[in-house]
Amino acid sequence: LVWLDLLVSIRVFHQRLSAFIGTLKQAFLDIRWFIIVMLIILAMFTNVYMALLVPPDLGAEDESGDATLVSGSLSSIFVLFNVFTLWRMMLGDFNPASLASQNEGVDSYAAIFYLVYTVVVLIVLLNILLAVVSDSYEHAMMQARFIFLRSRHLGRASRGVMIELRE
């Protein structure tokens, strides 16, 4: 929190610095809806990824007839591993050879899944993210002079209050 306070404090020094800090603030406000949509799409692709590439023995029944992966911790670790794999895929740190399945006939579906995921997430969603940040930057640059003068005025006013409190 000290670092955020430092960012708020240093914007009184220069108008461009105030504009950049205003851009950060505006971008974080504008991105919140994008993040919700991105997380829903990531959950959707995680579900498809798990359905396509689940190992055949992971849901198999043991000799008593009970499923081996119905209970909690192992299944949640498996889901988190898949979310992490898709996150890495989104960032470009992914080996497409790991999409190879042990089930025959799934490899072509996995390749189609990889292509659709790449187009939707890497091309469409990340370009939308860039557009949102670009709009935030444009908005902050239009408001830069006003934000700079207001922060300077508030900075002087708060120093005046501090001087009056000391006396």
pLDDT at 136 (0 to 100)? 84
pLDDT at 70 (0 to 100)? 46
pLDDT at 20 (0 to 100)? 80
Residue 133 makes CB contacts below 8 A (sequence gap 6+) with 23, 27, 30, 31
pLDDT at 158 (0 to 100)? 58
Q: Are 22 and 147 in contact (CB under 8 A)?
A: yes
pLDDT < 70 stretches in the chain: 1, 8, 11-12, 54-75, 98-105, 151, 154-167
pLDDT at 159 (0 to 100)? 55
pLDDT at 130 (0 to 100)? 92
Q: Are 72 and 63 in contact (CB under 8 A)?
A: no
Q: Are 139 and 81 in contact (CB under 8 A)?
A: no
pTM over 0.85: no
φ/ψ region of 65 (left if φ > 0, alpha if ψ in -120 to 50, else beta) reads: left
